[in-house]
Amino acid sequence: MIEVKDLHKSFGEAHILKGITTTFDKGKTNLIIGQSGSGKTVFLKCLLGLFDYEEGSIAYDGEIFSQLTEDEKRNLRAKIGMVFQGSALFDSLTIAENVMFPLRMFTKQSKSEMQDRVDFVLKRVNLEDAHKKKPSEASGGMQKRVAIARAIVNNPKYLFCDEPNSGLDPKTAIVIDNLIKEITEEYQITTVINSHDMNSVMEIGEKIVFLKNGFKEWEGSKDTIFITDNESVTDFVYSSNLFKKVRRMYLDENQ
Amino acid sequence: MTYLHNIGAYFLMIAEMFRKPTKWSVMKQLILKDIDDLIIGSLGIVAFIAFFVGGVVTIQTALNISNPLIPKYLVGFATRQSIVLEFAPTFISIIMAGKVGSFITSSIGTMRVTEQIDALEVMGINSLNYLVFPKFIALMLYPFVISIAMFLGILGGMAACVYGGFSSLEDYIIGIQTDFIPFHITYAFIKTVVFAFVLATIPSFHGYYMKGGALEVGKASTTSFVWTSVVIILLNYLLTQMLLS
Ligand SMILES: Nc1ncnc2c1ncn2[C@@H]1O[C@H](COP(=O)(O)OP(=O)(O)O)[C@@H](O)[C@H]1O
Ligand SMILES: [Mg+2]
């Protein structure tokens, strides 16, 4: 579980996060949604410890990050997996080497133990025979899978994904979303996902935090997001005609 | 103001580069890869340029000595002096600022814009140590490249002399041995080591701290080349004044 209390983050004059308080549960896919530029990535990077913040605290299973020693921070980081928006695979390494990277860095496993683990996670993300390819030779969907494999290879307790299905076709996007959800449940990970995609909301929105103008505007789940009367949320949700239609059908059905 | 800020950031980067070292088994491979990319990969172009510019230096010197009172061996002497003192250490370094420098800036810059550096940081890896330190170590072999440039430059001069008929081989060989001052070699290698440090760190700085996307990677490479050259030329002036006068 991750608890965020009154988080403030600015870049110079620009106040991006204006006091955010929320919690993200273990074994669940927690979504942060909002328009482009609403601060989702900045929020995620604060959670990751990539950005310092002026005020507020973030606690990982009770341990407040800013109060940890350098060593404890390093240990905590080893338990974090991250899937970046553009996958951020190391392009000088092969796919297998990318996945092996955290193991080589942080464990004392033998070469064959590492290889076994890499085989296992690549299989888990349905990529059995791509070991020797370079990331540049893989499709966007494959790169995402590799990024997920790299993020989970060292058994993380926390998994962060920045728009994991951006740039993917709708079908692949849903496969990736569900893969993340399965892995989250299977290994009881605390997973936080940034998204502006309503499909993800419907597929995996077990907990949803809606950001607007640096504030947490609304919080709920995929079950409550379609019936809330918070205008900012409905604006966001029903910005597409498809969802306007879905809403009408839903309301008709329930009358 | 931004200049001062950048200079400060540059020195902080250098300090950070030595902190929290990467696991040796991983670092070893990074160093070997950088030696291959930066040193071995530059030998061809350096050898080519050194040989032919050496030849040109000789031809120019020979053509400009028309006074029969000036001894013929002066051609070899002048060629040696200009190659050892300036051409090999400084001129080749400017070329390397273009070749190695823009390679470093664009490869680190690409890692920045595609969030690969963030990926390293998230894992708790000191990305400056991971990325810049191996380049710094690899470029400690740079004096080796410059020695080759010196040797081939003088050889190129010799070839031009003999095949172009500007002076005899004996005169040239006497010339390159005349008034040899060992300190000149020391001076040249002090410069080389300093320039190697500049070549490893300034392009890394421009790549590491760049912002934006693919277009900015190209711009950063250009800026990095300009600044690396400017710093090399200025340091060359300062070192020459300090060491030779
Ligand atoms: N490193 C940075 N420096 C300055 N401003 C930034 C930085 N990163 C993000 N911002 C600003 O913060 C705001 C939120 O950005 P971001 O979190 O990337 O939005 P999104 O919700 O689309 O992920 C934007 O206005 C952006 O310009
Ligand atoms: Mg974003």
Element (H, E) at B196: helix B182-208
Quote the percentage of chain B above a pLDDT of 90.
Answer: 84
Neighbour count for residue B222 (Cβ, 10 Å): 13
Quote the CA–CA distance of A88 and B121 in Å, as a whole number: 12
ipTM (interface pTM): 0.86
Q: By C-alpha distance, which of B145, B126, B122, B143 is closest to B134?
A: B126
The answer to whether B115 contacts A88, with C-beta atoms less than 8 Å apart, is yes
| Ligand 1 atom 6 nearest Cα | A11
Tell me how close the Cα of B194 comes to any Cα of chain A, in angstroms: 29
Ligand 1 contact via A117 beta carbon (within 6 Å) = no
Count CB pairs under 8 A between chains A and B.
46
Name the strand (E) or helix (H) holding B164.
Answer: helix B142-164
pLDDT tens per residue, range A206-241: 999 999 999 999 999 999 988 888 989 888 888 878
Q: What is the pLDDT along chain A (255 residues), one digit of tens a residue?
A: 999 999 999 999 999 999 999 999 999 999 999 999 999 999 999 999 889 999 999 999 999 999 999 888 888 888 999 999 989 999 999 999 999 999 998 888 999 999 999 999 999 888 888 889 999 999 988 999 999 999 999 999 999 999 998 888 888 888 899 999 999 999 999 999 999 888 888 889 999 999 999 999 999 999 998 888 898 988 888 887 877 787 788 778 877
What are the boundaries of each domain within chain B?
24-244
Enumerate residues 6+ apart whose C-beta is below 8 A from B111. Answer: A90, B117, B131, B207
Verify whether the Cβ–Cβ distance B118 to A89 is below 8 Å: no
CB-closest option in B33, B114, B122 to A50: B122
Compute, in angstroms, the gap from residue A47 CA to the centroid of ligand 2.
14
Ligand 1 within 6 A of A37 CB? yes
> Do A104 and B25 count as a contact with CB atoms less than 8 A apart?
yes
